[in-house]
Amino acid sequence: MIRVTLRGLRARGWRALLTGLTAAVGVAIVVGTLMVGDTADRSGGSEGVDLVRTIMLLAGGVAVLVGGFIVNLTMSVTVAQRTRELGLLRCIGADRRQVRRSVLLEALAVGVLAAAAGLAAGHGVAVVLRAAVDAGPFQGDLPAGGSVLSGRTVVAAFAVGCLPMLLSALAPARRAGRVAPVAALREVAPSAGRMRPRRIGAGALALAVGLAALPLAVATRQGLLLLPGAASTLLAVRLLGPLFAGRLADVLGAPLRGVVGGLGRRNAARSPDRTAATATALMIGLALLTLVSIVFSSIEKAVLNDVHRDHVDFQVWAGGPDPTVRRAAPMDPEAVRRLRALPELSAVVTVDCVATGGATFCAADPAQLARVVDLEFSAGSLAAVTSGGVAVSDRDGRAPGATLRVGDADLTVTAVYRATDNFNAALIPSAELARIGGAPYPMTALTRVAPGVDRGAARSAVARATAGFPGLDVHDRAAFHAHDLAQFRNAGRVYRALTALAAVLGLFGVATTLALSIVERRREFGLLRAVGMGRRQLRAMVRVEGVLIALVGAALGLTVGVLFGWAAAAVLAHSSQPTRFTLPVGALAAIVVLVTAAGLLAAAVPARLAARVDVLRAVAAE
């Protein structure tokens, strides 16, 4: 049997190659992420290094998932295509166990080869990942020097290469064992196959569970609930996909005119199960990419919004930039007087505070404060806060009418404003400060440069005015924002690059499946060529099919990604991380355009394979 298997493997070399190639790419990504993770291990644990390790593990895990999906898909297609041959084996006396073993042995052989190849290619991935990490916000966090290959990585490579391969081969192998000997004698069209009710039931359940996680996570503010929710939704799409993938491909292809487009569209819709499986593999990466894009753009939107509401040019603190020190140290009133005297500044607003009972209350002139920060009151206004009232930021969480206990007095919330990253104090009228205890002191001065004055000149003027006062720290808000945003955007880039890896792996799946089904349809292509389809038309037809399958994946991925991205942003909005849900329309449109282009690319090789089909070979009866 082993001889038969090996000979069969040689005969189906290209098929094994395709399956192996996909597995190898998956292994390479896992190996690359593990190698970078191990490098992080070596350097001991700073916070940045821990984060790198976690991100790498997650990316590797996703690669395993997507790779497993694709290997599963290619295995089942390959075995389906071999039905006839296996039937012949049965005819000449092979028993079920032998057929089953032959399929499994083949899977194992391909898996081992793929793991070895992936292990080698993984070094390249590690180099690329390392470059991405070093260019990003974790610059300098990882120790210099090449990445290390640990025993753990080697074990993981072979596990990732072989296990999904064997597991994926199990079901087809069982099916192959059941192939009736007569299958060899019949022309077996790969049947669309009715979906079993059990599968539909399980899919519906998974979908319900997955979608229920969305409102639940938002309501309970438990972001972690989104993880099993997303997994369950993915499972649901895989299970239920065949129900709609074909139709979806058909709808997406509706704008295509002409016979070539029409044929491509039908080909994409012809085996819904295969289209669904391929699209799902691509969907995982795209959903992640969408989710990450949404979360990052939602955070960025909030940060930018803060920046826009913040008109402070220079902020003067007592006690340096450390917030714990800030609160303790009052500013010298003389410094404030000097700042006020500067002609370069158009506004100098002091915020006076008292610390009492563990909380800090502040006061500032409402009209003046409005010149340096837009507080965006959602209820009441600062000017309307009277004795016994308090304005709180939305991060405080208290609604209008709620009370705050200070010592033995109660303050009632009469106004709520939106916090910025720099301003979220509880505000009361100036006159009240002394009443609730302690001596009010100016905690900070918010200044704004007068129109027409050079920033640099204003900066030196402020520096001169505060020079004589030890402990005073001048803070350039604009520079701070710019640095902050740059850091943040870099981090976004790293995350997006990592999730894009999963999408690239998914595209590999599209190419593989397409190539496999093209070989399966060789006769059909020969026929089309015989009745007058030009090579270019044939290639176009295959490309249409590839793009449509990729777009089905994109549609599913964007839908799932937007749903979970929205939920993640909603959960984050209640955390310390300012977040405002935004649909990054530009980025999502870019994903669709890129996926279309990548679908074309993925279809390029299969299209050339198809166009090279020898008319005669295809037409001559076998």
Partner 1 sequence: MSEPVAAVRAVGVSKRYPTVTALDDVSVEIDTGRMTAVLGPSGSGKSTLLHCLAGLDTVDSGAVYIGDVNLCGLDERRLTRLRRDRIGFVFQSFNLVPTLTAAENVVLPLRLAGRSPERAWVARVIDAVGLADRLGHRPAELSGGQQQRVAVARALVARPAVVFADEPTGNLDSLAGAGVLALLRRCVDEFGQTVVMVTHDPIAAGHADRALFLRDGRVVDDLPSPGVEQVLERLRAPRAAA
Which H or E run includes 314?
strand 314-318
Asked if residue 563 lies in contact with residue 210, where contact means CB atoms within 8 angstroms, the answer is no
In terms of CB distance, is 589 or 615 closer to partner 1?
A: 615
Question: For residues 29 and 69, what is the distance between their CA atoms, to the nearest angstrom?
Answer: 15
- Cβ 139 to partner 1, closest distance in Å? 54
In terms of CB distance, is 484 or 524 closer to partner 1?
A: 524
Question: For residues 119 and 549, what is the distance between their CA atoms, to the nearest angstrom?
Answer: 30
- Cβ 83 to partner 1, closest distance in Å? 17
What are residue 373's phi and psi, to 5 degrees?
A: -150, 135
Asked if residue 568 lies in contact with residue 297, where contact means CB atoms within 8 angstroms, the answer is no
In terms of CB distance, is 258 or 320 closer to partner 1?
A: 258
Q: How many CB atoms lie within 10 A of CB 361?
A: 24
- Cβ 237 to partner 1, closest distance in Å? 25
* Residue 37 CA to its chain's centroid (Å): 19
In terms of CB distance, is 33 or 267 closer to partner 1?
A: 267
- Cβ 617 to partner 1, closest distance in Å? 10
In terms of CB distance, is 197 or 532 closer to partner 1?
A: 532
In terms of CB distance, is 144 or 189 closer to partner 1?
A: 189
- Cβ 6 to partner 1, closest distance in Å? 28
β-bridge pairing 377-379 and 314-318? unpaired
Question: For residues 49 and 138, what is the distance between their CA atoms, to the nearest angstrom?
Answer: 8
Asked if residue 472 lies in contact with residue 336, where contact means CB atoms within 8 angstroms, the answer is no
In terms of CB distance, is 483 or 617 closer to partner 1?
A: 617
In terms of CB distance, is 55 or 268 closer to partner 1?
A: 268
Structure tokens at 8: 């069969």
Asked if residue 72 lies in contact with residue 23, where contact means CB atoms within 8 angstroms, the answer is no
List of E strands, 463-519: 472-476
User: How long a stretch of residues is the chain?
Assistant: 622
Residue 295 CA: distances (Å) to CA of 54, 204, 257, 573: 18, 28, 38, 10
Structure tokens at 321: 């930039």
Asked if residue 24 lies in contact with residue 54, where contact means CB atoms within 8 angstroms, the answer is no
In terms of CB distance, is 174 or 522 closer to partner 1?
A: 522
What are residue 448's phi and psi, to 5 degrees?
A: -130, 140
β-bridge pairing 345-356 and 441-449? antiparallel
- Cβ 80 to partner 1, closest distance in Å? 16
- Cβ 613 to partner 1, closest distance in Å? 12
- Cβ 184 to partner 1, closest distance in Å? 17
Asked if residue 450 lies in contact with residue 314, where contact means CB atoms within 8 angstroms, the answer is no
In terms of CB distance, is 270 or 327 closer to partner 1?
A: 270
In terms of CB distance, is 43 or 537 closer to partner 1?
A: 537
- Cβ 248 to partner 1, closest distance in Å? 17
- Cβ 527 to partner 1, closest distance in Å? 7
* Residue 324 CA to its chain's centroid (Å): 35
Q: How is residue 588 annotated by DSSP?
A: H
- Cβ 554 to partner 1, closest distance in Å? 23
Asked if residue 425 lies in contact with residue 448, where contact means CB atoms within 8 angstroms, the answer is no
Q: Per-residue b/e over 508-524, b at no fewer than 16 CB within 10 Å?
A: bbbbbbbbbbbbebeee
Residue 230 CA: distances (Å) to CA of 92, 221, 238, 289: 48, 16, 12, 13
In terms of CB distance, is 585 or 621 closer to partner 1?
A: 621
Asked if residue 39 lies in contact with residue 134, where contact means CB atoms within 8 angstroms, the answer is no
Interface positions with partner 1 (CB under 8 A): 189, 258-260, 263, 266-267, 270, 523-524, 527-535, 537, 615-616, 619-621
- Cβ 194 to partner 1, closest distance in Å? 15
Question: For residues 590 and 587, what is the distance between their CA atoms, to the nearest angstrom?
Answer: 5
In terms of CB distance, is 470 or 532 closer to partner 1?
A: 532
Question: Residue 344's closest CA among 233, 255, 463, 461?
Answer: 461
Structure tokens at 564: 């979970």
Question: For residues 275 and 267, what is the distance between their CA atoms, to the nearest angstrom?
Answer: 10
Question: For residues 622 and 605, what is the distance between their CA atoms, to the nearest angstrom?
Answer: 25
- Cβ 8 to partner 1, closest distance in Å? 25
- Cβ 524 to partner 1, closest distance in Å? 6
Question: Residue 363's closest CA among 421, 435, 453, 305?
Answer: 435
In terms of CB distance, is 10 or 257 closer to partner 1?
A: 257
